[in-house]
Amino acid sequence: GAVVSQHPSWVICKSGTSVKIECRSLDFQATTMFWYRQFPKQSLMLMATSNEGSKATYEQGVEKDKFLINHASLTLSTLTVTSAHPEDSSFYICSADTGGSYEQYFGPGTRLTVT
């Protein structure tokens, strides 16, 4: 149980375009979903926390208008990278929890390359 999927697993896009990444909890309802990015050989950095039906809470230094997060249902959150730049190339990982138990379940990640 407790499976989180991400789609796509990898994507290449051109500078200036937008890319949407989906994060789904397959067998549980996720009250909270987290979006992380990870640069090569570095640790995960939390970008934002989203709760179903409310606005995401962004970490300091993360541009809200650039990284749009929508948590439309208890099983789906999306991250849209708008007007992508090569420096947005990274590994994006989502995680989800059921609330109250501190358990977090991680998705397999999406590797974004912006050319």
For residue 6, which of 19, 34, 25 has the smallest C-alpha distance?
25
74 binds another protein (CB under 8 A): no
Q: How far is the CB of 75 from another protein (least distance, A)?
A: 19
Total binding residues toward another protein, as defined by CB under 8 A: 22
CA 2, CA 47: separation in Å to the nearest integer? 22
Give, in degrees to the nearest 5, the angle at Cα 40 between 47 and 85: 60
For residue 113, which of 8, 42, 10, 32 has the smallest C-alpha distance?
10
93 binds another protein (CB under 8 A): yes
Interacting residue with another protein among 20, 31, 49, 70 (CB under 8 A): 49
Interacting residue with another protein among 31, 57, 70, 80 (CB under 8 A): 57
Within residues 17-36, the interface with another protein by CB under 8 A covers 34
Partner residues linked to 50 by β-bridges: 33
98 binds another protein (CB under 8 A): no
